[in-house]
């Protein structure tokens, strides 16, 4: 079963409302269905094919992102609805609209100061990432810019699977290492710099979560990149917790949790399951969720996940 099947053209179904922004690979716009209700969608208009890029390579990048997003169903993951071409050859991905802005904007505004709200957001991030990993997907670009808030500013949604990788398929439960140095520099794990051809996709996401939590607490990134050329990173390696600007925001459990997320050795870095079921995370009231979670992990009880074959 393919995760994508063209029915008609984009301009036959959707009306563009306005442009939100433009990145290296896509332009982000708002739209609504022409013959639908007033539901607002986010539209990701992908860049056109480069001259040195084959049509197969171009479509593989687009469909890989769409197929991963379309297969995910969790309250802390943005919904992916459709992938559709227009008459001029442009491709559009249709996504859930989260009107509360990004976590990055929230942090930079200076309005994220309440430790209870910080912890509430962070627990939701962990639950979303844990679900991704249960589906065999490593995000590889976790950062506050890729975490959105809904209109209530209580629910967070992880977005952008453009460089995500599948480390375990639906039909083969064995986990395999992934490769490629990618992501945003301050959030990339040290092992990716050291050995970017083979690394654990789950552990690199856990490292990124640690950097995100640091940024939420201190409103600044700890280093430019986690390698030996960065003096701030080297200072952290040498000083550990004494590198942090302050310890006032921590409980003993949260301090230990952050240090274990930022363990420079991926072999001893805390697992997501251990972190979620730690006294620290279990003690956080998850303000953005009303769902129960079963004993096997943070998955809504009774939800049957729809597995989509990735034909790319």
The secondary structure element, H or E, covering residue 43 is strand 41-46
Strand order in the sheet with 26-33: 14-22, 26-33, 41-46, 91-96, 80-85
The CA distance from 208 to 210, in Å, is 5
Here the tokens at position 63 are 């469909």
Separation CA 223–CA 10 (nearest Å): 42
- 141 included as an active-site residue: yes
Nearest in space to 204 (alpha carbons), one of 306, 245, 196: 196
| C-beta separation of 266 from 189 below 8 A | yes
Q: Which residues pair with 43 in a beta bridge?
A: 29, 94
Say what angle helices 201-218 and 252-261 make with each other, to 10 degrees: 130
CA 8 to chain centre: 30
Question: Is 56 a known ligand-binding residue?
Answer: no
- CA atoms of 106 and 123, how far apart (whole Å): 17
- Write the burial class of residue 41 (CB in 10 Å: 0-12 exposed, 13-18 middle, 19+ buried): buried
Catalytic member of 82, 141, 150, 242: 141
H helices, E strands: number in the chain: 10, 9
Catalytically active residues are 141
Q: Residues at the annotated binding site for ATP?
A: 44
């Amino acid at each position: 079963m393919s995760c994508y099947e063209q029915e008609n053209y984009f301009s036959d179904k959707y009306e563009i409302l306005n442009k939100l922004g433009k990145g290296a690979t896509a332009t982000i716009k708002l739209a609504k269905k022409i013959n639908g209700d007033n539901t607002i969608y986010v539209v990701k208009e992908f860049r056109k094919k480069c001259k040195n890029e084959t049509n197969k390579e171009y479509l593989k990048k687009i469909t890989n992102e769409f197929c991963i997003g379309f297969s995910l169903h969790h309250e802390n993951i943005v919904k992916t609805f459709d992938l559709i071409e227009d008459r001029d050859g442009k491709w559009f991905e249709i996504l859930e609209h989260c009107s509360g802005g990004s976590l990055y904007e929230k942090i930079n505004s200076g309005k994220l100061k309440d430790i209870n709200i910080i912890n509430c957001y962070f627990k939701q991030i962990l639950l979303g990432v844990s679900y991704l990993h249960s589906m065999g997907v490593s995000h590889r670009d976790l950062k506050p810019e890729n975490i959105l808030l809904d209109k209530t500013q209580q629910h967070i949604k992880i977005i952008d699977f453009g460089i995500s990788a599948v480390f375990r398929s639906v039909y083969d439960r064995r986990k395999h290492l992934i490769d490629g140095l990618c992501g945003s520099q301050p959030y990339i794990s040290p092992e990716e710099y050291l050995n970017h051809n083979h690394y654990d996709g789950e552990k690199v996401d856990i490292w990124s979560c640690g950097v995100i939590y640091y940024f939420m607490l201190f409103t600044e990134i700890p280093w430019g990149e986690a390698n030996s050329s960065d003096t701030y990173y080297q200072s952290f390696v040498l000083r550990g917790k004494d590198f942090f600007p302050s310890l006032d925001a921590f409980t003993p459990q949260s301090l230990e949790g952050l240090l274990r997320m930022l363990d420079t050795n991926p072999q001893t870095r805390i697992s997501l399951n251990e972190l979620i079921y730690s006294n620290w995370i279990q003690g956080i009231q998850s303000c953005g969720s009303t769902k129960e979670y079963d004993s096997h992990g943070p998955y809504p009880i009774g939800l049957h996940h729809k597995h989509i074959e990735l034909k790319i």
